[in-house]
Structure 1
Amino acid sequence: MSRPFLILVAALLVCQNLTAKTKKELAFTVIHTDSVVGYTASKEPIRGNCYQFSAPIFQISMNADQNQALILLKQIDPKWGVYGRGELSAFNFQTGNFGWHFTVKGIDIRRSKDAIYCKQGTTASLFSMADGSEIRKVPGPYLFMDYENNIGFGGEYGVDLISGKCIWRHPVTAEDGELPGELYHIDDSLVAFCYGGLHVMNLYTGKGWDYKLSTTKGNPGTTWTLIGAGMVGGLYQGMAVAPVSMGPGSPRLTGFNSNIASDNGLIYIADKLGLLCWDVKTGELIWRQKISRSKMSGSEIFIKNGAIYIINKGLADQGSIGTPFIAAYDKNSGNEAFFQTLGTGGIMSYRIENDTCWIYNGDLHRVDLNTGELKSQHFIANKYVTAKRLFVDPSTLLVENIKGLTSAGTVFHGDFFMVTENNEICVFSRNAELRQVLKSNNLWLVNGRYKDNYILLNGKGETALERDGKITLKLPSGFHDNLIGDKLYRISDKSVQVISLSDVFAD
Structure 2
Amino acid sequence: MKGAFVLLLILVGFSGMAFGQTLSQWFLVQDSIAGMSYVTDLPVTAIRYGTPGKIYRWHWDGNSDNLLLELRETNKKGTSFKNGGTLNMVGLSDKELKWVREVNYNSSELKQQGSYYFLTDKKKNFCIDPETGAVLWENKNDFYFIEPFLNIGVGYPIQSMSNKLTAVNLSNGKELWYRDLDRSFGWDDAYMLNDSVLLISTNGLRAVHLVNGAGWSYKANTTKKEIGKMIGVNAFGLLLGVFTGVYTYQDQPDVASDMVSNMLIDPDESIVLASRDQIARVDNAGNVLWTTPLPEKITSKSSLFLVDSVVYMINRGYAQYNGGFSMIGDPYLAAFDLKTGNRLYLTLILEKKEFIRNFQVVNDMLFVVFEDKIGFYRLGDGTLIKEKVIELQKDEHLDAFVESGIYWKRNDSEFTDLISEFSNYNLMMTTQGRVFVLTDSLERVFAYDKEELYHIATQNPRYALITNNDSDFVVLDASDNPVAALKASGEMFLYRDKLYFFDKDSFSEIDLSQLSQPASISVWQSIFKQVSRFIPNSYN
1:441 counterpart SS class: helix
Instruction: Report the counterpart of residue 27 of structure 2 in structure 1.
Output: 30
More displaced, 450-459 or 58-67?
Answer: 450-459
In structure 2, the partner of 1:246 is none
SS at match of 2:273: strand
Query: 1:67 and 2:65 equivalent?
Result: yes
Distance 1:217 1:457, change over 3 A: closer
Quote the residue 1:205 is aligned against: 212
Structure of higher RCO (CA pairs closer than 8 Å, 6+ residues apart): 2
**What residue in structure 2 maps to residue 314 of structure 1?**
317
- Residues 322-373 of structure 1, C-alpha deviations (whole Å, 9 max, x = no match): 1212333344544445543322221122234455432112431123445645
Post-superposition Cα deviations, 1:216-272, rounded to whole Å, max 9, x if no partner, equal: 57579xxxxxxxxxxxxxxxxxxxxxxxxxxxxxxx996652233334433332211
Q: Does 1:343 align with 2:343?
A: no
Q: How does 1:233-272 map to 2 (within 5 A)?
A: 256-264=259-267, 265-272=269-276
TM-score for the superposition, normalised by structure 1: 0.73
Partner Cα distance (1:385, 1:290) in 2 = 41
Taking structure 1 as reference, are residues 199 and 32 closer, same or farther at Cα in structure 2, changes over 3 Å only? farther
Distance 2:153 2:211 in 1: 10
Alpha-carbon distance, 1:119 to partner? 1.9
Among 171, 184, 187, the residue aligned to 2:190: 184
CA deviation map 1:74-125 (0-9, x unaligned): 3347899455333222211123122112222346422356642222344433
1:366-409 per-position Cα deviation (integer Å, ceiling 9, x unaligned): 234456453232416x5538633213428643322247223557
Equivalent residue for 2:9? none
C-alpha separation in 2, matches of 1:216 and 1:390: 27
- Runs of at least 5 residues in structure 2 that lack an aligned partner in the other structure: 1-23, 157-164, 228-254, 519-540
Amino acid at match of 2:359: Y
Q: CA, structure 1 residues 45+208, in 2 after alignment: closer, same or farther (shift >3 Å)?
A: farther
Q: Which residue identity does 1:209 align to in structure 2?
A: W
Decide whether the 8 Å contact of 1:191 with 1:200 is kept in 2.
Answer: yes
Q: Any conservation in 2 of the 1:426–1:436 contact (CA below 8 Å)? A: yes
Query: How many angstroms does 1:159 deviate by?
Result: 0.9
Q: Kindly indicate whether residue 374 of structure 2 is the aligned counterpart of residue 361 of structure 1.
A: no
Task: Describe the SS at the equivalent of 2:393.
Answer: helix
In 2, Cα distance between equivalents of 1:503 and 1:441: 29
Distance 1:159 1:324 in 2: 42
Q: Rate the CA distance shift 1:292–1:113 in 2: closer, same or farther, 3 A.
A: closer
Distance in 2 between residues matched to 1:467 and 1:214, nearest whole Å: 48
Query: Cα distance, 1:489 vs. partner?
Result: 3.5
Counterparts in 2 of 1:202 and 1:293: CA distance versus 1, 3 Å = same
When residues 198 and 391 of structure 1 are mapped into structure 2, their CA distance, relative to the original with a 3 A threshold, is: closer
How far has the Cα of 1:209 moved from its partner?
Answer: 1.7
Q: 1:67 to 1:178 in 2, by over 3 A?
A: same
Say if 2:179 is the partner of 1:171: yes
Secondary structure of 2:451's counterpart equals: helix
Counterpart for residue 146 of structure 2: 145
| Cα contact 1:455–1:466 (8 A) shared by 2 | no
Letter in 1 for 2:334: A
How many aligned positions are there? Answer: 444
Q: Which residue of 2 aligns with 1:491?
A: 502
Residue 47 (structure 1) shift:
5.0
3-state SS in 2 of match to 1:384? coil
CA distance in 2, matches of 1:383, 1:288: 42
Does 1:289 find its partner at 2:327?
no
Contact 1:394–1:416 (8 Å) recurs in 2: no
Distance 1:201 1:394 in 2: 34
CA contact (8 A) 1:350 1:357 kept: yes
Q: 1:496 to 1:283 in 2, by over 3 A?
A: farther
2-structure distance, mates of 1:76, 1:331: 59
Distance 1:437 1:141, change over 3 A: same
Over 3 Å counting, the alpha-carbon distance change for 1:261 and 1:496 in structure 2 is farther
Which residue type is aligned with residue 357 of structure 1? L
Q: Is the 8 A contact 1:172 1:199 kept in 2?
A: no
Task: Describe the superposition over 1:136-185 as per-residue Cα deviations: whole angstroms up to 9, x where unpaired.
Answer: 4322322223345542211422112231111x2131332xx848435513
The alpha-carbon distance between structure 1 residues 481 and 201, as it changes in their structure 2 partners (threshold 3 A), is same
Q: Which runs of 5+ in 1 are unaligned?
A: 1-26, 221-251
Deviations 1:419-475 (A, max 9, x none): 333333345565556666532122223566533655533245433315445313333
Letter matched to residue 71 of structure 1:
L
Give the equivalent residue in structure 2 for 1:22. Answer: none
Measure, in 1, the Cα distance between the counterparts of 2:441 and 2:421: 19
> Structure 1's 468 and 113: CA in aligned 2 closer, same or farther, altered over 3 A?
closer
Deviation at 1:504, TM superposition (A): 5.5
TM-aligned CA distance change 1:385 to 1:272, over 3 Å? farther
* Partners of 1:96 and 1:368 in 2: CA distance: 58
Give 1 or 2 for the bigger CA radius of gyration.
Answer: 2
Aligned to 2:305: 302
For the 8 Å contact 1:46–1:504, the answer to whether it is kept is yes
Task: Please point out which of 464, 473, 477 is paired with 2:484.
Answer: 473
CA separation of 1:139/1:431 partners in 2, compared to 1, >3 Å: closer, same or farther? same
User: Retained in 2: the 8 A contact 1:294–1:321?
Assistant: no
RMSD: 3.9
Paired position in structure 2 for 1:241: none
State the one-letter code of the partner of 1:153. V
**CA contact under 8 A between 1:114 and 1:128: conserved in structure 2?**
no
Q: Which residue of 2 aligns with 1:129?
A: 130
Aligned to 1:39: 36
Asked if structure 2 preserves the Cα contact closer than 8 Å seen for 1:257 and 1:297, the reply is yes
Which deviates more, 349-358 or 132-141?
Answer: 349-358
Change (3 A) 1:440 1:359: same
Name the structure 2 match of 1:228. Answer: none
The 1-side partners of 2:516 and 2:461 are apart by 10
